[in-house]
Amino acid sequence: MTKRALKRQLREGAFDPRFQGGPSEGGQFEGDDKIRRLPLDRGWSPLTHHNSNEDREQGYLKTIKAKSPGQQALIDAIDARNLVMALGPAGTGKTYLAIAKAVEALESGSVGRIVLSRPAVEAGESIGYLPGDAEDKLAPYLRPLYDALSDRLSMKRVRALMAEGAIEIAPVGFMRGRTLNNAFVVIDEAQNCTYVQLKMLLTRLGWHSTMVVTGDPDQSDLLPEFSGLRTVAEKLSTLPNIAVVRLADKDIVRHPLVAEMLGVL
């Protein structure tokens, strides 16, 4: 073997103890000794499914902390009552706190499932005929509930719980005739429900269940005479076993401009 060939073998690792043996012995070189094969036991892979955030389990459940007296009153009411109505302007955390308490109850084993529902009402504009099946057509209306869930749980965990039926998201129209036992029920955007719809939803409450109804009576996409949230809340506020929590502008936790705008609009 020439000196030049020896240097090339040393440079390419032919005499490395890990790669002993020629081409016939299954060594590092096969066919052309100028081509060096990369090791196959690398810990990192550029493949998407090996490094996707969606496939990685994320245990980042955060502790719920009230940011205003009104939010604290809502949390205390959910802990003490089986039926709570949370009324207040946008940005007061009504939906977020309700879903956070639902996730907390599910994770602790207090309930067996979470049922989230909201009316499929267009916000002032028509989106036409959407393609797909019923789930695809209703997805845009239910997207805010998915966003709130994904903030409390990883999307991998949300998908797994939905697949096994522990989390259910359904429009109001699919709730008639049901009895929701051992469940935490959240009715979101209740200002877009009629009086008859709210009466139907409230009577779905079963044994060992908690129901939270959230909405802003001043921000309805229905005509004022059709929205039943304000009337239902006034009637239920006289019952001692039902909590009606009214949040105000001072409880808004979004951008400070939200509170300023709502004060003049």
pLDDT digits (tens, 9 = 90+) for 164-184: 999 998 888 889 889 999 999
pLDDT at 13: 56
Indicate the domain borders of the chain: 3-41, 69-264
Reference 188, options 206, 207, 175, 177; nearest CA is 175
Q: Which of 35-39, 70-74, 131-135 has the lowest mean pLDDT?
A: 35-39
Q: Looking at domain 69-264, what is its CATH homologous superfamily? A: P-loop containing nucleotide triphosphate hydrolases (3.40.50.300)
pLDDT at 256: 79
pLDDT at 34: 56
- In angstroms, the CA 111 to CA 209 distance is 7
- In angstroms, the CA 234 to CA 239 distance is 10
pLDDT digits (tens, 9 = 90+) for 207-219: 999 999 999 998 8
Reference 156, options 57, 52, 62; nearest CA is 57
**Higher-scoring residue by pLDDT: 41, 1:** 1
**Beta strands per DSSP E along the chain:** 83-87, 113-118, 167-171, 183-187, 210-215, 243-246
CA–chain centroid gap for 259, Å, is 25
pLDDT digits (tens, 9 = 90+) for 220-247: 888 878 899 999 999 999 999 999 999 9
pLDDT at 130: 60
Is the confidence at residue 23, as pLDDT, over 60? no
> Is residue 52 packed enough to be buried (19+ CB in 10 Å), middle (13-18) or exposed (0-12)?
exposed
Q: CB neighbours of 98 closer than 8 A, spacing ≥ 6?
A: 78, 86, 186, 188, 212, 214
pLDDT (mean) for 92-114: 93
pLDDT at 258: 80
Q: CB neighbours of 64 closer than 8 A, spacing ≥ 6?
A: 75, 97, 100, 101, 104
Task: Band the pLDDT of 205: cuts 50, 70, 90.
Answer: very high
- Residue pair 95/164 in contact (Cβ under 8 Å)? The answer is no
pLDDT digits (tens, 9 = 90+) for 39-82: 555 454 444 444 444 444 444 456 778 889 999 999 999 999 99
